[in-house]
């Protein structure tokens, strides 16, 4: 791992331009990646939320990430448990490069949370990156997480808040985004859910309401009438093993429960694959059943 960590100072050409624009940018960052650079993607989007995510939060987040995949997005999050972990896993499943910003140093001994170390390795192997402004062996502290949040928001033109109670750290990231002249997007939720109290308040205060990937694309000024680069017959040759399993199960129309059962995949993984195939125009939902568009 050590040979894959680069220290990048603010005066360096490799220092992210987006971070130079924010108030109090880090003087240096340590970057763990396979090539010593941040992912080169069409768009960055920062995604944050509570550590105690709900099934609702996970489901809608996975659908949004699957919908963004064909448009060349990279995700940015914080590697904490809950929403951050879902961002990383869903990005990997959909072949989206992802960036994790730590509240600790990058050494295995200091890495927080420890249970996500293997996930961090997978992020780097897939072309993503893990970064920190802290010394390699620095352990996480109560103040290091709020401080690193300015980097999460600073790397992207917009921050999407998925679920956030009233005192969530995700709301600190949203405030940083506003202070940095970035856009804030928020997913609405039930008035009875504590996890939606923060996001609903953000929407009342002017954050863009997001219910689907299309809402994110509109916020980024992406023309929905223009098909993404991947799609149609050319996409069939690039199906992942999981996508091929779902595609081959559709010799005849099938509902989502049938596809999940027959695929023998975890439910969330199968739903993510089905959602991506639909977004890419390879399958289509008619009523309660999915059909192949291309044979």
Residue 76 clears pLDDT 70, i.e. is over it: yes
User: How many CB atoms neighbour CB 285 within 10 A?
Assistant: 13
pLDDT of residue 294: 55
Residue 16 clears pLDDT 70, i.e. is over it: yes
- Residues 234-248 as b or e (16 or more Cβ within 10 Å = b): ebeeebeebbebbbe
pLDDT of residue 232: 43
209 or 234, which is more confident? 209
| Domains of the chain by start residue, with CATH | 2-219 (3.40.50.450), 233-292 (1.10.10.10)
Q: Report, as an integer, the average pLDDT of 219-233.
A: 67
pLDDT of residue 236: 57
Q: What distance in Å separates the CA atoms of residue 189 and residue 56, rounded to the nearest whole number?
A: 9
Q: What distance in Å separates the CA atoms of residue 279 and residue 277, rounded to the nearest whole number?
A: 6
Q: What distance in Å separates the CA atoms of residue 141 and residue 31, rounded to the nearest whole number?
A: 20
128: region left, alpha or beta (phi > 0 left; psi from -120 to 50 alpha): beta
Q: Give the pLDDT confidence of 250-291 residue by residue, as tens digits.
A: 877 888 898 999 999 998 888 888 888 877 667 878 778 888
What percent of the chain is predicted at pLDDT more than 70?
Answer: 93
pLDDT of residue 279: 73
């Amino acid at each position: 791992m050590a040979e894959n960590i680069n220290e990048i100072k603010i005066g360096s050409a490799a220092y992210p331009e987006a971070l130079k624009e924010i108030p109090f940018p880090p003087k240096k960052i340590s970057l763990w990646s396979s090539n010593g650079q941040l992912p080169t993607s069409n768009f960055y989007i920062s995604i944050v939320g509570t550590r105690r995510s709900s099934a609702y939060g996970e489901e809608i987040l996975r659908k949004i990430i699957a919908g963004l995949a064909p448009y060349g997005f990279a995700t940015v999050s914080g590697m904490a448990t809950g929403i951050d972990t879902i961002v990383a896993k869903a990005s990997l499943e959909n072949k989206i490069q992802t960036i994790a910003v730590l509240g600790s140093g990058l050494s295995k001994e200091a890495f927080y949370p420890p249970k996500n170390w293997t996930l961090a390795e997978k992020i780097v192997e897939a072309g993503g990156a893990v970064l920190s402004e802290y010394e390699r062996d620095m352990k996480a502290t109560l103040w290091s997480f709020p401080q690193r949040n300015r980097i999460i928001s600073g790397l992207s033109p917009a921050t999407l808040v998925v679920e956030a109670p009233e005192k969530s750290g995700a709301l600190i990231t949203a405030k940083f985004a506003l202070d940095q002249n970035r856009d804030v997007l928020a997913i609405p939720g039930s008035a009875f859910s504590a996890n939606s109290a923060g996001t609903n308040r953000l929407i009342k205060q002017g954050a863009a309401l997001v219910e689907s990937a299309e809402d994110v694309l509109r916020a980024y000024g992406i023309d929905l009438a223009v098909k993404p680069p991947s799609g149609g017959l050319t996409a069939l040759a690039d199906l992942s093993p999981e996508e091929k399993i779902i595609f081959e199960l559709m010799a005849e129309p099938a509902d989502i429960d049938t596809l999940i059962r027959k695929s023998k995949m975890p439910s969330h993984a199968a739903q993510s694959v089905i959602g991506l195939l639909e977004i890419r125009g390879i399958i289509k939902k008619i009523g309660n059943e999915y059909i192949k568009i291309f044979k």
